[in-house]
Structure 1
Amino acid sequence: MQLSYLLVNILGVAVYLGIAFLFSNNKKGINWRSVGVVLVINLVLAWILTSFAWGRDAVKAAADGFNWLVQVAYQGINFALPNWVTPQFGGTAKSMNFVTSALLPILMIVPLFDTLTYIGVLPWIIKWVGRGLSFITGAPKFESFFAVEMMFLGNTEALAVSSLQLKQMSAKRNLTLALMSMSCVTASIIGAYTQMVPGQFVLTAVPLNVLNALIITSLLNPVKVTPEEDTVAKMGGSGTSEAAVEAGDVQANGKREPYFSFLGDSILGAGRLILIIAANVIAFVALAALIDKILALFNPWLSLEHILGIIMFPFAWLMGLDVSQAFQFAQFMGMKLVTNEFVVMGKIAGTIHNLSIFPAHYQAQLTVFITSFANFSTTGMIIGAFKGLVDKEKNDLISKNVGTMLLSGILVSLMSAGIVGLFVW
């Protein structure tokens, strides 16, 4: 490890925080104690998960667990489509394509996580981890709760099950949730990520994104919450469990939806999710190729990746990379923001595990940076979700801050990657 690169990496983390402060809409209202506490927790957690054998083993075990779930899912795929699965898992295919290896396992993993929600396990974890996070950091209870919630459920799902809270909160606090929503992942999709990029860094990115979302949003949009406002809305009436209502498995009459009916809806939802992801990847890759063809008419050197690389290069260089690595990193960063994480993962899946091509520092930072939903299309999803949940005043404030939403997602990804890079060389 070269000391100069480490110093640049440290400078990068400071610059990302400085950018958030520069674009803050209320600099005097920032709770610096909370920011400092969360930052320290972030650094300690990244240090533990990357620098200690037991921390690395814990993350690797979690990644192996997701890989094991995916391998179990291959059994179902092999039953229906044996010529899509390799002999290693009982099929006859010479190799597995992106749809088989990364997307079709979602058909099993989504219902599994939905079942954990149905029986109340996930809501219980979310509630108590969120309360603990609020107690330690001094962040408002619901914002802490929501940060953990979106780590498991995803942005639009977390917003949907929090509709009562959104209606009760102020417009500025709703904006905070919109900013945080740019940085989530969905636990049920992590298995797809671990099939393409190093799973230990995917699993490291998830909690760091939660903490960095709290830091960045408290800088960009500080909101003073009174003790009377600092509550989590109780969802559901008498005799209806809060967890069941949050899970979305309670009907209008207060009775629990039959499990197999719930499971059928979950499987159909997983199927729709696969189609959405596949359609987006195909469309974005094709559109990027079209743009490259058009740009080449003017200059053979011009391409979308080169243009995005130039724009994002300063931020990539601050990761503590040499110039050639930083430019390539910047291209991947730009491509991820314009398209989505699956497009970039698909491009690097064949080489990202090779340390001679992607040195450890670069490999860790790139994996962490692309492990989130932060991109242009996510802003539209979030605005659409709020339109169906809150009144016009609150939705208008969110719609006016699309640029801030995108900035929030970028800064959280940069912070998570930069912090992990401090400990992996």
Structure 2
Amino acid sequence: MLRFQSALGVVVLLFIAWMFSENRRRLAWRSVWGGVVLQLGMAVAMVHVPKIQEVFFLLHRVVQVVSEATEAGTGLVFGYLGGAPLPFEVKSGASAYILAFRGLPLVVVMSALSSVLFYWKIIPWVVRALAWSLRKSTGLGGAEALGTCANIFVGMVEAPVLVRPYLETLSRSGLFTLMTAGMATIAGTVMVLYASILQKALPGVMGHLLVASLMSAPAAVVVSKLMVPPSEASSETDETTFEVVSDARSTMDAVTQGTVAGLSLFLNIVAMLIVFVALVHLANAILALVPPWHGEPWTIQRLLGAVMAPVTWLMGMSWSEAQVAGRLMGIKTVLNEFMAYLDLAALPEEALSLRSRLIMTYALCGFANMGSLGIMIGGLGAMVPSRRSEIVALGMRSIVAGTLATCVTGAVIGIFY
């Protein structure tokens, strides 16, 4: 019954995307159906191909190795704060784990590793292969396909840089597809961080996060083409090819560039967490003035849970679980996915079943939130100043589209689990 509920959810979520369409009479049928079939095919392969399951656990081991390597560095620099042996005994119920010194440095290490893999042309090769597959299945143009697939590995600003010369002439629909893909996926630099947070809550989580980002790429195409359909067929079917290259001059230069970029991202995450947690606390303090409902005080988490619960129910959960999952989805949309994953990892086992945890891992795997909107507008606006007003106008729609895309991905997974 829950699987049927997930299937219904896919249909309803795509219908909602169509209801937000700028032109409901014009549909890019090849992009929509091709994206749906591609996403379903990925889900079937993931569930029914044993070799892929083995890859999941291999990736899980890779996460552990990278985490251990990072801890070796943080232990040297920060001492026991970073994971070195403690000079004292920890009291029962307490924890010596400090996120800023042990968890977040993974971002810096992964940024350096990603930069090296980019320089060695491993990531560019994978991106081109995925872009070719997406073009053949959905009929996207070269710039759209490459930019969409690049979002699986790099951030929402870095991905459009790869097709920067074509942003000026890209169709409105193509531009919106790039924006939606940025909102519906996460960068590889934070993927390992999220896996380290969730590894105790969900077996093989690194593989699931990678597949979630992969599956959300065609989902982003489907949702974006429903909401902003192309007006010119030629702009969606060009055969332009692209060469994706690193600007590093050596492996050590790539390590250096990646480390500097990772440090910037690390500091940005720290600052955002401090501010967002403070803002949530202030909002809850204000809501505490409102009389309680059914004996429980009002909080921003409770309000968001009530709003998003029907959406999570559509993904294939019982109503009692949907309210818990709705709160996570609301936190992700208003704040960010990092805080939502922290909450998901901290939930007691009875709050969500393993299946619901899996669905939420996929549904939360995207950058669609208000903070990301500011980053996207700033980055894309600087690349194509002449289209800044158009980018701003599409901004809120891209958050809706990115959220719908990840929810569709969660519902698709719910069909097969």
Query: Fold match, TM over 0.5?
Result: yes
Superposed, 1:7-406 pairs within 5 Å as 7-86=4-83, 95-197=96-198, 198=202, 199=205, 200-223=207-230, 224-226=232-234, 230-232=238-240, 242-244=243-245, 247-249=246-248, 257=249, 259-300=251-292, 301-351=297-347, 354=349, 356-392=350-386, 394-406=387-399
- AA aligned opposite 1:289: H
The corresponding residue for 2:406 is 413
Contact 1:216 1:408 in 2 (8 A): yes
Deviation at 1:85, TM superposition (A): 4.0
Distance in structure 1 (CA, Å) of the matches to 2:362 and 2:127: 22
Deviation at 1:369, TM superposition (A): 1.3
Distance in structure 2 (CA, Å) of the matches to 1:217 and 1:43: 18
Deviation at 1:14, TM superposition (A): 0.5
Deviation at 1:340, TM superposition (A): 0.6
Distance in structure 2 (CA, Å) of the matches to 1:122 and 1:91: 39
Give the alignment's TM-score, normalised by structure 2: 0.89
Change (3 A) 1:80 1:213: same
Residue-by-residue CA offset, 1:216-248 (whole Å, 9 max, x unaligned): 1121112134179714365xxxxxxx433xx34
Distance in structure 1 (CA, Å) of the matches to 2:220 and 2:194: 20
- AA aligned opposite 1:153: V
Residue-by-residue CA offset, 1:263-320 (whole Å, 9 max, x unaligned): 3232122111111111111211111011001110122421111111121122122122
Distance in structure 1 (CA, Å) of the matches to 2:155 and 2:264: 15
Residue-by-residue CA offset, 1:34-55 (whole Å, 9 max, x unaligned): 3222212211211221344333
Contact 2:74 2:102 in 1 (8 A): no
Report the secondary structure of 2:220's partner residue.
Answer: helix
Change (3 A) 1:258 1:45: closer
Deviation at 1:401, TM superposition (A): 2.1
Deviation at 1:162, TM superposition (A): 2.3
Contact 2:170 2:235 in 1 (8 A): no
Report the secondary structure of 2:298's partner residue.
Answer: coil
Change (3 A) 1:30 1:371: same
- AA aligned opposite 2:212: A
Change (3 A) 1:40 1:243: closer
Structure 1 residue runs of 4+, over 4 Å off?
90-94
Contact 1:212 1:416 in 2 (8 A): yes
The corresponding residue for 1:254 is none
Deviation at 1:152, TM superposition (A): 0.7
Distance in structure 1 (CA, Å) of the matches to 2:322 and 2:184: 22
Contact 1:106 1:192 in 2 (8 A): yes
- AA aligned opposite 1:390: V
Contact 1:130 1:148 in 2 (8 A): yes
Deviation at 1:17, TM superposition (A): 0.5
Deviation at 1:28, TM superposition (A): 3.1
Report the secondary structure of 1:400's partner residue.
Answer: helix
Distance in structure 2 (CA, Å) of the matches to 1:227 and 1:192: 37
Distance in structure 2 (CA, Å) of the matches to 1:296 and 1:402: 32
- AA aligned opposite 2:9: G
- AA aligned opposite 1:335: I
Distance in structure 2 (CA, Å) of the matches to 1:51 and 1:91: 45
Contact 1:62 1:203 in 2 (8 A): no
Deviation at 1:261, TM superposition (A): 4.1
Deviation at 1:6, TM superposition (A): 2.5
- AA aligned opposite 2:26: G
Distance in structure 1 (CA, Å) of the matches to 2:415 and 2:62: 27
- AA aligned opposite 1:336: K
Deviation at 1:67, TM superposition (A): 2.9
Which residues of structure 1 form unaligned runs of 5+? 235-241, 250-256
- AA aligned opposite 1:150: N
Deviation at 1:358, TM superposition (A): 2.4
Percent of aligned pairs with the same residue? 23
The corresponding residue for 1:237 is none
- AA aligned opposite 1:209: S
- AA aligned opposite 2:139: G
Contact 1:134 1:144 in 2 (8 A): yes
Deviation at 1:175, TM superposition (A): 2.8
Distance in structure 1 (CA, Å) of the matches to 2:253 and 2:219: 38
- AA aligned opposite 1:161: L
Residue-by-residue CA offset, 1:94-135 (whole Å, 9 max, x unaligned): 532222342112222111110111232212221232113212
Report the secondary structure of 1:310's partner residue.
Answer: helix
Change (3 A) 1:44 1:170: closer
Distance in structure 1 (CA, Å) of the matches to 2:172 and 2:247: 24
- AA aligned opposite 1:284: F
Report the secondary structure of 1:27's partner residue.
Answer: coil
